[in-house]
Amino acid sequence: MLNQKNPCKRFLWKWALALFLVCTAVFSIQAVQAASGKTIKTVTMKIGSKKANGTTVSMKEGKTAKIKISTSPKLAEKTVTYKSSKPSVVSVNKNGKLKAKKEGTSTISVTVRAEGYKSKKVTCKVKVTKDTASGSATQDSGTKKALVAYFSATNTTKGVAEVIADVTGAELYEITPSDPYTAADLDYNNDSCRANQEQQSASARPGIEGSVEKFGDYEVIYLGFPIWWGEEPRIIDTFLESYDCSRKIIVPFCTSGGSGISTAVSHIKDIASGSPEVKEGRRFSGDVSKATIEEWIAGLSLGN
């Protein structure tokens, strides 16, 4: 029994009890935090080049746009889900591609999940208005300004791109990775090599050094690349998401020992913003003749 006549002991007992309660509370809070996981501090949603969190973004009826997501801290492995409150007004697919369908306003929700973290959701509103401009890319009698943009890891695609530029008179632009690919990066027999790891992740977006000046001036984009595991390299996806492709004609071409271009063309149609006209595309070998390129170009319907 506590000695009521000894105030010192009574003070010490109360102090010990208070310390015990404080420690218990701290440990309880830490336990709850540990159980619920770490917190994603921020999720930044961009549509085009503008931050969209909590804002209202305008889109013209029939147009498309791509949602870009960044997080703090950066998450190497994350799952992003998209939802539209009114899909009949604005639809959004699993890759974050928006399509404005009719006049109205829809709320777009983006939820980011990662192992060991609490999920985080951000929203914006998309307002769709009528597009009073005439529909698709202008088909006039003049020569369309063209660009041959290509990515070439081993210079095979580069050779074909140079022939196309020579035949068409188009300007030539090399899509150069910020982090150049080494021979080890391209060792396809190694499942852990960089190229294989990127191709296994549909969301991988390798960085690009520099950009196309006055991209909006070009009406036709000849887009070249090698085929990696039946698809376009992910750096091509980075390129397509970096520009507004509205009112443009995209003509894909690839180099490959045997794989076709159809899957890559399907991806390009899905990824490119602005609903461009995407041609069927063509696969070439590295030693294709100039005559073959000329015949192919002559058979394209580009509205010239």
Spell out the domain ranges in the chain. 40-129, 146-299
Residue 53 has pLDDT above 50, yes or no: yes
Question: What pLDDT was estimated at residue 35?
Answer: 45
Q: What is the mean pLDDT of the chain?
A: 85
239 vs 88, higher pLDDT: 239
Please say if the pLDDT value at position 138 is more than 50: no
- CA-nearest of 274, 281, 272, 225 to 251 is 281
- CA count, 13 A, side-chain hemisphere, 66: 23
List the structure tokens of 161. Answer: 């791109």
pTM over 0.85: no
Confidence tier at 293 by pLDDT (50, 70, 90)? very high
pLDDT at 256 over 50: yes
Kindly report the CATH number that applies to the domain delimited by 146-299: 3.40.50.360
Give the Cα-Cα-Cα angle 59, 64, 69 (nearest 5 degrees): 95
- pLDDT confidence of 20, banded at 50, 70, 90? low
Q: Which CATH number fits domain 40-129: 3.40.50.450, 2.60.40.1080, 3.40.50.720, 3.40.50.2300?
A: 2.60.40.1080
Residues 187-225: pLDDT tens digits?
A: 988 988 999 999 999 899 999 999 999 999 999 999 999
